[in-house]
Amino acid sequence: MFSQKGQEAAPFELLIAVVVMGFVLLAGINVMGILQLEECKGTLDSQMEKIKTAIEGIVAGEGQRDFSYSLPHCFKRSTEEDDALSKTVFEIQNVTSRQVCTAYCSGARFECMLLWFRTEDYHNAKCLRISTATNFPEESGTCNDFSIEEFEPVDLTEGILEGQYFLVRKFDLSSANANICAYNRVI
């Protein structure tokens, strides 16, 4: 009644089905990892855009602005991995390279300000449409007169750490440059 040949082929067909299913699962897991990384990069890009808008608004004279920043989960690593967080840099840089400025800012510029994020395996930069003469001081006298005690002055060109920030433009009659005071909430 039953074909002997059909019974002999069944284990081989099952083996092929298991191998194919293994490849499908492996490809699916790989795609899910890629999607999570891209979502994380999108979160970082969105945060960078908000910070960029806040800084540009303050330089343009729009009063006071605040923003918060938290490092997306895909860039957080355990401290056991050679302290990878110390290799994560997020800062404002004054760049004096025509090639770099042209790549990130429209037009042929010899000098520009960039909002720069980088790790060992990823980087993102946004062109800040502000003068390269813009200062981000934290020294006493310029930025230490803020009235809310839970904030302390910080220099955004030395790094942007996770936290809540408050930006204020300070006017100095002895200087034509914009002084942007950044305050970080002390927890």
Determine contact, residues 138/171, Cβ cutoff 8 Å.
no
Closest CA to 48 of 113, 103, 116: 116
Q: Summarize pLDDT for 37-57 with one digit per residue, the tens.
A: 899 899 999 999 999 999 999
pLDDT of residue 80: 46
Domain spans of the chain?
4-185
pTM to 2 decimals?
A: 0.77
pLDDT band at 78 (very low <50, low <70, confident <90, very high): very low
pLDDT of 10 strictly over 80: no
